[in-house]
Amino acid sequence: MGSFITYSADNKEVSIYMNWNAIISNRTPVRTKDSTKFGYVAGEYKDNFVVIEGRVVSHEYVIPKDKVDHYDGRELFLKMRHVEIGTDYEL
C-alpha cells in the first residue's frame, strides 16, 4: 500500500509517494523533529503506522501518517518532538 505525503522544502510544497510495504519490510528507522531516534516502522493500520521503540522493554505506538514530516529514503522523520508523543499514541 502506498500514499502521498506533502511537506515544505525551500518554500515549496513537495509531495512524495510513500511505499509503506517497503518501509515496513525494511524496518525503517524513525526520528522525531528533535532528531531523537524513536524506533522503527513495524506495521500499518488505516491512516496510521505502527512504531516499535526499544529492544528489551519495547513500546508500541500508532502514529497518524499526517504526522510524517518527510522520508529521506533511509529514515522517516516526524513533525513531532519526542516529548510530544508521550502516551497519546502508545498502545
Q: What is the pLDDT of residue 8?
A: 57
Q: Cβ contacts of residue 84 below 8 Å, gap of 6+?
A: 32, 33
Terminal CA-to-CA distance of the chain, rounded, Å? 23
Q: What is the pLDDT of residues 22-74, one digit of tens each?
A: 999 999 999 999 999 999 999 999 889 999 998 777 899 999 998 998 888 89
The residue ranking higher by pLDDT, 7 or 76, is 76
Question: Is the pTM for the entire model greater than 0.95?
Answer: no
* Torsions phi, psi for 76 (to 5 deg): -105, 125
Q: What is the pLDDT of residues 67-81, one digit of tens each?
A: 998 888 899 999 999
